[in-house]
Amino acid sequence: MKLDELFIREDATILETMKRLDETGRRILFIAPKGELKAVLTDGDLRKWLLRGGKLTDEVRLAANYNPKYLPVADRGRAKMVMEQYGIDALPIIGRDGKVNDIMFGTGLDVDNRKPANIPVVVMAGGLGTRLYPYTKILPKPLIPVGEQPISEMILDRFAEYGCKDAFMIVNYKKNMIKSYFNDLEGKSYQTHFVDETEFLGTGGGLCLMKGKLDSTFFFSNCDTLLDVDYGDVLEYHRSHNNVITMICSYKHFQVPYGVVEMGENGTILAQREKPELNFLTNTGVYVVEPRVVEELEDGKKQGFPDVIEKYRLAGENVGVYPINESSWMDMGQMEELEKMRRKLEGKV
């Protein structure tokens, strides 16, 4: 990667900056006009700006940090120590000419700034996986491999990195295969508990089977979603806002490949736009949930978890959104997305 690919203009919009972060695969960019370091911007800075009511069309300078940490080129040997001291995972190196000479990243330097979560995880793993047919005619969706591991194992491994050692899987379709796989799995750093769903109740209805099993805040996840996110930070956000449910959402950018026409009265053209670009927040299917939600569910009622969220929202309860970049969300719910996930994990995109 070239150094200037990590630079962003000061007047670039938040949306343009998010796209650049997605393109680079890094979580940080630098404002460095003519190569001279002026400010730094992380995906966390963008998230905080948007949560404060900022807009995608705002200039990135409004969200940037104009007091960045850096080191002169002669002191680059201190990079690891400085990153550990300040809890950062990237550090600009400034040359004698005052310009950015290099960027040191924490990768490979044992710099771990993740916040622990240490709460249970519940994975909804009982669906038929019809969108992945014919794969799911042979294997249940949670066991479909992405590379060398099944998707559900990758999900639980990711949570375990943040201290989530108790994993509950609500199983139904081909449940014995799922149980056998995880019971025989060696070296896992978490305990797996299974809850049988005898009829399909949906992502919200199936959660009622967890009554009496949870007494703390927990993560709730679909079995086809892998996120590159600091789960400890998500939990901290959830608690600081006193949310009953926090939904992790990804910004999506989609360009319609056609000219769009809006029709007025009597068949007239009211407006037309050539290949418009749409920007919206999408539910990733991963949540932080308070245990009382489980206890308040109606037994045996078929419903999706978004229906449960809507009930609390309409009741005036705190239901929040934790936004992430598009590149931080990998979804294998459809055949095309499954192939994209495989290529991304193999480093081919």
Q: For 328-344, what is each residue's pLDDT tens digit?
A: 888 776 666 666 666 66
Q: What mean pLDDT is reported for the chain?
A: 88
Q: Is the predicted pLDDT of residue 133 greater than 80, yes or no?
A: no
Per-residue confidence at 110, pLDDT binned at 50, 70, 90? very low
Residue 103 has pLDDT above 50, yes or no: yes
Query: What are the tens digits of pLDDT across the range 243-297?
Result: 999 999 998 888 888 999 999 888 899 899 998 888 888 999 999 999 999 999 9
Say if residue 53's pLDDT is above 60: yes
> pLDDT digit string (tens) for 198-215?
999 998 999 999 999 999
Q: Is the pLDDT assigned to residue 68 strictly greater than 50?
A: yes
Q: What percent of the chain clears pLDDT 90, i.e. is strictly above it?
A: 49
Q: Going by C-beta distance under 8 Å and a sequence separation of 6 or more, which residues neighbour residue 46?
A: 14, 17, 18, 21, 63, 325
Tokens of 247: 């939904």
Question: Which whole number is the average pLDDT over 142-170?
Answer: 91
Read off the tokens for 82: 């400085």
Residue 242 confidence (pLDDT): 96
Q: Which tens digit of pLDDT belongs to each residue from 255-270?
A: 888 999 999 888 899 8
d(CA 289, CA 293) in angstroms, rounded, equals: 7
Each as own residue / partner, the long-range contacts of residues 19-22 (CB below 8 Å, 24 or more positions apart, any chain) are 19/253, 21/46, 21/325, 21/327, 22/325, 22/326, 22/327
Instruction: State whether residue 18 is helix, strand or coil.
Output: helix
Residue 216 to residue 163: CA distance in whole angstroms: 14
Q: What global pTM score does this model have?
A: 0.82
pLDDT for res 112: 57
